[in-house]
């Protein structure tokens, strides 16, 4: 090997190491944090954990154990973490399903059936992202109240899909549009209906793009804290982010970090499983005229 | 196609569009209309009696307010700095990952994680890590940084910077993955052809990679622009408004929640719309050219 390529390789490995540290350090830090005892949190080295323990995680589930550390029992609150997990599951699964069904329907209409002005439909749907969420919650609260969904998980099922639908409709319709017409025509000539052609031919083909849309939806709604905290007030109705947001961090910092990890781990595992499909789907959706 | 078939297709199309349209109308149209209307009034929940219509007064006051221009400048700087950083880092990630090397799959996962890690909770961890509330082992160090930065830039600056860093950390991951998807779409022959044409890697990057990545770059810029403002909102919720650094979004919250001046707050938050719409129109030219889609 000549010295030049050897050097190039070294630079490359250095860059790779840098990227990995940059991406993973905050996650590593939170993981280490959550495994610490209160003692070690205050006096130990911030970067490593010497005596890992799961007591912060246990604390989230039952808070009746003996008082430890310097926090008196009077100051402790208990958190219905199991309820939060259940609520989060319902909201996330529901939103992803709802978003995908609605987006696929709209995307098929725009990309395949192409009603007049379909390009403008797509653009206007994507343009809804420019609406500033800032104080939108005031009128949104009126809407939610009108439907009688105050302090109800269904309020999130109403609002969350609108955060992901514009992007999902965009990529799905771009993908449907660039599929050649012959794909459906063969089936239509055989006498199949458009619906059959869709479910038997187009839908199976578009699995990667559906995965991309689903992962995007999950990532987007998992990033919301504002709407969840505003609309879910009763502690038993909250999702994990909303609940963690109400924790008194000065007292329960370690339990909060443990909660962060508990929420993150399943989402990360799901995303990691589909990460490759996500990239493939984005590629498939954006390639023009192939 | 036969005209009756076409007419039936169009009807089906509208039927299929209706769930999305109804959802968007219910969740967005009324609130936006409400916000626009309120911005022309002196509406306040703290006052009894009928709401008075004040026309453009809120806007006039806002434009005369030096606070607004300060907030607008900070907002603009925040948006530009985070986007440039996210694009630069994301492009770097994508270029690094576009060629095979040992362990690429794992490095790719590492790049994907900051975005996949749910931001609603990582922002909590991130914020409290950089602004530690209690005497943890690193609190003294972070406190030192905080006071040094706040001393130079004004109160709340460090908290604001920590939000920007979070936005960059997460956004660079999203853009990196998006651009990687874009690079995968470039046919290999094009790279081989470019290799014959030009010796300089920079030239090849500029002539082949960049133009073909354009739709991905534009979409990434647009999405990260909107997410940059959502992150600010998250931190606002988290700290119950303790971030007082003047940005248009947080100032609008301040007016609405602490001041009860919903009219003025609406005007403030709507002042971002023309900017974002303008950006979107420019970006549409880049990633949705009509002539390219005629096929």
For chain A, the structural domain boundaries read 3-75, 81-286
Tell me what the mean pLDDT of segment A69-85 comes to.
65
SS3 letters across A266-290: HHHHHHHHHHHHHHHHHHHHHCCCC
- Note whether A131 contacts B28, CB cutoff 8 Å: yes
Judged by CB atoms within 8 Å, which residues 202-231 of A form the interface with B? 215, 219, 222-226, 228-230
The pLDDT score that the predictor gives to residue B192 is 77
DSSP string, A18-45: HHHHHHHHHHHHHHHHHT--HHHHHHS-
Q: Determine the Cα–Cα distance for residues B254 and B259; give it in Å rounded to an integer.
A: 7
Q: Are A40 and A49 in contact (CB under 8 A)?
A: yes
Q: Determine the Cα–Cα distance for residues B286 and B222; give it in Å rounded to an integer.
A: 11
How near does any CA of chain B get to the CA of A50, in Å? Answer: 14
Judge whether A183 is closer than 8 Å to chain B, CB to CB.
no
Tokens of B53: 């219509």
Q: What are phi and psi of A259, to 5 degrees?
A: -60, -40
Chain A residues with CB-CB distance to B215 below 8 A: 286, 288
Q: Are A237 and A151 in contact (CB under 8 A)?
A: yes
CA dihedral (A169, A170, A172, A173) positive or negative: positive
Tally of structural domains, chain B: 1
Chain B residues with CB-CB distance to A101 below 8 A: 19
**pTM of the predicted structure, to 2 decimals:** 0.86
Q: Is residue B37 part of a domain?
A: no
Judge whether A12 is closer than 8 Å to chain B, CB to CB.
yes
With both helix axes pointing from N to C terminus, report the angle between B139-153 and B157-184 in degrees, rounded to the nearest 10.
Answer: 100
Tokens of B38: 């309120």
Q: Is the pLDDT of residue A251 over 70?
A: no
**Nearby residues of B173 by Cβ (< 8 Å), 6 or more positions away:** A23, B90, B93, B111, B112, B113, B114, B115, B116
Largest Cα span, chain A: 77
The pLDDT score that the predictor gives to residue B179 is 92
Range of the domain at B194: 66-260+267-293
Collapsed DSSP state (helix, strand, coil) of residue A114:
coil
CATH number, domain of B108, equals: 1.10.3720.10
pLDDT tier, B69 (very low <50, low <70, confident <90, very high otherwise): confident
Tokens of B209: 């990679």
Write down the mean pLDDT value for chain A: 82
Instruction: Identify which of A19, A43, A245 has the shortest CB distance to residue B111.
Output: A19
Nearest CA in chain B to A228: B120
Q: Is residue B21 part of a domain?
A: no
Largest Cα span, chain B: 77
Instruction: Identify which of A264, A275, A286 has the shortest CB distance to residue B118.
Output: A264
- Note whether B23 contacts A129, CB cutoff 8 Å: no
Among residues of chain A, what percentage have pLDDT more than 90?
16
The 10s digit of each residue's pLDDT in A130-142 is 887 777 778 888 8
- What's the CATH number for A81-286? 1.10.3720.10
Chain B residues with CB-CB distance to A260 below 8 A: 121-122, 124-125
- Note whether A133 contacts B117, CB cutoff 8 Å: no
Instruction: Mutation target for B interface from A89, A202, A223, A281: give the one with most B CBs within 10 A.
Output: A223
Could you tell me which of A79, A84, A87, A86 has the C-alpha nearest to residue A251?
Answer: A79
- Note whether B124 contacts A222, CB cutoff 8 Å: no
**Nearby residues of B288 by Cβ (< 8 Å), 6 or more positions away:** A119, A122, A123, B215
Among residues of chain B, what percentage have pLDDT more than 70?
86
pLDDT tier, B223 (very low <50, low <70, confident <90, very high otherwise): confident
From the CB of residue B210, how many other CB atoms can be counted at a distance below 10 Å?
A: 12
How near does any CA of chain A get to the CA of B155, in Å? Answer: 21
Instruction: Mutation target for A interface from B124, B257, B260, B266: give the one with most A CBs within 10 A.
Output: B124
């Amino acid at each position: 090997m000549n010295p030049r390529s050897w050097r190039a390789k070294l630079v490359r490995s250095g860059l790779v190491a840098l990227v990995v540290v940059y991406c993973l350090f905050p996650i590593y830090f939170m993981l280490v944090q959550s495994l610490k005892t209160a003692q070690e949190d205050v006096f130990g080295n911030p970067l490593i954990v010497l005596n890992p323990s799961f007591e912060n995680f246990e604390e989230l589930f039952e808070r009746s154990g003996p008082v430890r550390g310097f926090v008196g029992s009077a100051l402790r609150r208990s958190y219905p973490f199991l309820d939060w997990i259940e609520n989060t599951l319902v909201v996330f699964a529901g939103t992803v399903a709802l978003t995908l069904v609605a987006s696929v329907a709209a995307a098929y209409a725009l990309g395949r059936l192409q009603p007049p002005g379909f390009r403008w439909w797509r653009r206007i749907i994507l343009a809804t992202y420019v609406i500033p969420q800032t104080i939108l919650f005031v009128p949104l609260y009126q809407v939610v109240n009108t439907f009688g969904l105050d302090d109800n998980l269904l309020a999130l099922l109403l609002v969350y899909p609108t955060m992901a639908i514009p992007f999902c409709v965009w990529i799905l319709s771009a993908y449907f549009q660039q599929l050649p017409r012959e794909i459906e025509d063969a089936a239509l000539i055989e006498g199949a209906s458009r619906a059959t052609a869709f479910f038997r031919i187009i839908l199976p083909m578009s699995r990667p793009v559906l995965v991309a849309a689903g992962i995007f939806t999950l990532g987007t709604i998992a990033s919301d804290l504002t709407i969840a905290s505003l609309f879910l007030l009763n502690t038993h109705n909250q999702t994990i982010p909303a609940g963690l947001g109400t924790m008194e961090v000065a007292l329960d910092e370690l339990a909060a970090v443990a909660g962060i990890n508990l929420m993150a781990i399943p989402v990360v595992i799901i995303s990691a499983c589909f990460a490759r499909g996500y990239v493939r789907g984005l590629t498939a959706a954006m390639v023009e005229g192939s | 196609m036969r005209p009756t078939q076409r007419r039936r297709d169009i009807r089906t199309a509208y039927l299929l569009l209706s769930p999305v349209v109804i959802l968007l109308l219910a969740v967005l149209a009324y609130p936006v209309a409400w916000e626009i209307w309120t911005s022309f009034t002196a509406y306040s929940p703290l006052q009894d009696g009928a709401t008075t219509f004040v026309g453009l007064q809120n806007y006039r006051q806002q434009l005369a307010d030096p606070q607004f221009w300060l907030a607008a400048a900070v907002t603009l700087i925040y948006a530009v700095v985070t986007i440039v950083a996210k694009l630069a880092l994301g492009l770097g990630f994508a270029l690094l990952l576009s060629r095979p090397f040992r362990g690429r799959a794992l490095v790719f996962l590492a790049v994907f994680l900051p975005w996949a890690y749910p931001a609603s909770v990582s922002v909590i961890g991130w914020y409290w890590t950089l602004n530690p509330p209690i005497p943890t082992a690193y609190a003294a160090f972070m406190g030192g940084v905080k006071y040094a930065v706040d001393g130079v830039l004004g109160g709340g600056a460090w908290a604001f910077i920590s939000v920007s860093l979070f936005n960059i950390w997460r956004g660079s991951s999203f853009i990196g993955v998006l651009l990687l998807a874009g690079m995968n779409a470039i046919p290999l022959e094009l790279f081989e052809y470019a290799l014959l044409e030009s010796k300089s890697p920079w030239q090849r990057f500029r002539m082949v990679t960049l133009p073909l990545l354009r739709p991905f770059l534009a979409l990434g810029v647009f999405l990260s622009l909107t997410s940059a403002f959502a992150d600010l909102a998250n931190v606002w919720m988290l700290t119950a408004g303790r971030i007082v650094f003047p940005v248009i979004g947080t100032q609008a919250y301040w007016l609405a929640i602490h001041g009860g001046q919903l009219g003025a707050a609406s005007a403030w938050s709507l002042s971002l719309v023309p900017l974002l719409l303008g950006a979107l129109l420019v970006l549409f030219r880049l990633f949705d050219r009509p002539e390219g889609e005629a096929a």
